[in-house]
Structure 1
């Protein structure tokens, strides 16, 4: 009684009766089937063949549940006790699919692998506690089935995921990653790196005061990051364009805008003006090279065009800042 009071209403797994263990297994199989179906629903639009794999895995979980219910009816009757994962202390938990969205292929596959491993350990432990021969045999079989789910998933994948379908889904996943993270982040990095050149270097050459220049650069970078982030969030909710979560895009844009501006503002923490300016110019070249590399790597922009666009834009803004600062 005291242990139950201090455990917050949860039971130790070792204290469960065989009927309660069966009831827990039944509810767990039901939950896992629903999770796999939710994964299938979340993947169906963009990854239809992978969705069919998870539908097949959900069918297996339902078969396990039916076998457990049949055994419970045979031993204890039709009334199954209400016992779920959250009622047992230390029992593994499952994340509902809405907590792990958007459903990327690698994320879902990793989650499914963890689910199978946890279920395997549960059935092994449950089988060890069981005294009835039929119950022990069934739990042992289900432990083997859960350990073999990886092979089942591979078999289902071989059936539904042809090389062409797999390549198409991987292309779709890469495209979604670019639309949600790379493209907004690149826009932010370009804005932060290029647009802040003029105010930072104008201030630097006008005042030759490194601390004032740093403060202007800090304010410009943070202000631009906030502005770009909110603009990205407000401009597109991602529903029609398919560009993904506006919050994630806004964070990618805002953070990279701030980083781009701070890159050549931080050197002005160096007290010596010309040393700070030299380091800042070197950082600008590194930033421009990074932008060019990202454009070529992810946006498939040819090197010559990417270099011309970035260097020309950066040079014009840098020159404007110097001219205004020396005016």
Structure 2
């Protein structure tokens, strides 16, 4: 018996598969991936989200058509955005710790590889003595050169692997803080707000009729859509409230600025990405600055780091 399960915390997973049972090809064709760390097939990007019903339905149909017995256990309960973010931060911290430990092991391996390379190099005849063709030492000399060359290559490869692992550890350690950068938070709020508007438009969108064309949706149709989209809207609104609070806290503590067209006017100067520029236009969502004569650029208000009125 195969079982497709979904929870908000774990995402969509299928249990009961075995190597060589024929399910791998079906799951791959329907967008599933093998998770080595969890030893199970999963739907990518399904963790901390509502279930992707179209993927689950399509997969279930393909498996049942192929003769597999299948059960579905779909939990549509969602966690709060605060819980989701705390879980992400913990997983990222664990990943950073694991990569840092791996980087230390790789660095030690690289040092050992260099020690072996040095030893192989020291075993060569002093002064770069040439190979004595036909002498009884010829083969030994060639073997020593080959060994030194091989050990040097191994040391270089081990050093590169250690450096790459260390880089990944640094990136993992910085991921959570990068997620909470003021500009990133502001951009996320804009995206979530746009997503909410898009879903709300879907609820009230006109209905197409072949004979009469588009016509307003009936109250019954809008109610049915509202019921369908309610879980998604609830999740988006919870996310919006969470990130709006984060931004409000950042503004209150001085981590983020809160400039707008009400506080910045044409002719003022603003500091964006460390550079002062003159304001050409203050729009509702962006500020347009002069980069050089005849060349302007628009930036989101969250990018403005400081402001000087024209009078100053």
| TM-score, structure 1 as length reference | 0.24
Q: Which has the higher contact order (CA 8 A, sep 6+)?
A: 1
Structure having the larger proportion of residues in strand: 2
Structure having the larger proportion of residues in helix: 1
| TM-score, structure 2 as length reference | 0.25
Q: Which has the larger radius of gyration?
A: 2
